[in-house]
Amino acid sequence: MAVASMLTVNGDRLMNSIHQLAAIGKLPDGCIRRLAFTPEDQQARQQVRQWMEEAGMTVRTDAAGNLIGTYAGQQQGPALATGSHIDTVPSGGPYDGVLGVLAGIEA
């Protein structure tokens, strides 16, 4: 069976998660500021960790501060990895990095 046929995404849940993260660090002009290691970034990390755990992932933070979630494999074979970031540039948008992280949790 092809890997793509086993992946499913709940689009409504994914968009809801994006909007929830976009509220963390939202500025009056609509931009989002979650600079690395700020309180806003830490709040977003806590939220993403919770979603990872709820999705059944084993979650850890490495020495560099990266949040890493893994699913235990059920079959022998190559693993699939995704990666991105949830911190933002000073005037980021709602998809600034989070789509790659949340899609990995969702799939």
Task: Assess if residue 2 is contained within a domain.
Answer: no
Which pLDDT tens digits describe the chain residue by residue (107 residues)? 455 556 788 889 999 999 999 999 999 999 999 999 999 999 999 999 999 999 999 999 999 999 999 988 888 888 888 889 999 999 999 988 899 899 888 87
Q: Which residue has the tokens 């909007």?
A: 19
Contact between 45 and 86 (Cβ < 8 Å): yes
Count of domains observed in the chain: 1
Structural tokens at position 55: 């999705």
DSSP 26: B
Q: Which domain holds residue 15?
A: 10-106
Residue type, 106: E
Task: Assess if residue 57 is contained within a domain.
Answer: yes
